[in-house]
Each structure stands twice: as C-alpha cells, then as structure tokens.
C-alpha cells in the first residue's frame, strides 16, 4: 500500500487523536474525537466546550501536533501531523455530518452542546507516516 493510501486509511479508521499543545514552554496532550473528510485535504475537525483550558492554549499558541490513535495494537501505520489550529470554517451541520460518519452518536452530543460548543480544525500541509518499523516518511498534501 502506498504512503497516501496508508494516510487515508489511518484517517478514515481512527476515531480519536492525541492533540498536543504547548504554552509557556509546557506541553499538554489530550484525546479528542475527530472528523476527517478526504475531500477537505489538510484539515482535521473536532469540537470542544467554549472557554476551556484547551481553547485558552489555542489562543496563546496556535501551533499544535496531533496523532490519530490506532484502533488496536497491530496498526500498520502511524500518522503524525504538525499544523495550526483555528476555528473551523465549516458550519455546524457540515461538521456533524463528517464526525457522524465515524461515530453516529456524537452528532447528538454536538447538537445538544449547542451554544456551549466551538468547532475547530487543525490545518496542515504535510503529514509524517511511519509504516511498521521503518523511518517516518513525509507526505505532502
């Protein structure tokens, strides 16, 4: 399987990703559920509650790293992404549709959160793919 196919497979099958921020020279990582649409290359989407610590960290430093988490220990490939975080350019219905492809129940959670939720996206132009025990390879998007 070629590099791009490995990337697309990981992005399509992973439900959660580790999202790392850094402020005041202090890294912080957390797990978020994310959406990905192959037609919107170079962006991953997620929601979060307004004004929480994560949002404050985004405002202080928009540079983030994320890694979709494999569904099991036998993952064929790992994907690492370095990008900038911003409020999403999608409307709520479009974001819900993307996330609901992976986790249908999350559509209700997002809708019920309503005004308490913000939509974000990580924008990136390359990803680093590690297949098996090989060195990471850069994939330009």
Q: How many CA atoms lie within 13 A of 16 on its CB side?
A: 9
What local confidence, expressed as pLDDT, does residue 107 receive?
65
* pLDDT tens readout for residues 59-88: 999 999 999 998 877 788 999 999 999 999
Which residues share a beta bridge with 22? Answer: 27
Q: Is the pLDDT of residue 20 over 80?
A: yes
* pLDDT tens readout for residues 31-55: 999 999 999 999 999 988 888 999 9
What local confidence, expressed as pLDDT, does residue 73 receive?
75
Among candidate residues 87, 102, 109, 83, the one with its CA nearest the CA of residue 19: 83
What local confidence, expressed as pLDDT, does residue 112 receive?
67
Phi, psi dihedrals of residue 102, rounded to the nearest 5°: -90, -45
Between residues 30 and 112, the one the model is more confident about: 30
Answer whether 0.85 is exceeded by the pTM.
yes
Among candidate residues 41, 46, 39, the one with its CA nearest the CA of residue 120: 46
How far is the C-alpha of 90 from the C-alpha of 83, rounded, in Å? Answer: 18
């Amino acid at each position: 399987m070629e590099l791009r196919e490995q990337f697309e497979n990981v992005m399509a099958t992973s439900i959660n990703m580790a999202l790392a921020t850094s402020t005041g020279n202090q890294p912080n990582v957390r797990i978020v559920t994310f959406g990905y649409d192959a037609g919107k290359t170079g962006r991953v989407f997620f929601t979060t509650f307004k004004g929480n610590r994560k949002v404050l960290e985004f405002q202080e430093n928009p540079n983030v790293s994320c890694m979709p988490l494999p569904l099991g220990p036998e993952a064929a490939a790992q994907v690492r992404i370095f990008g900038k975080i911003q409020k999403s350019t999608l409307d709520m219905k479009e974001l819900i549709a993307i996330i609901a492809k992976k986790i249908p129940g999350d559509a209700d959670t997002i809708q019920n959160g309503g005004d308490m939720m913000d939509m974000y996206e990580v924008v990136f132009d390359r990803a680093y793919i590690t297949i098996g025990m090989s060195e990471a390879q850069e994939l330009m998007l």
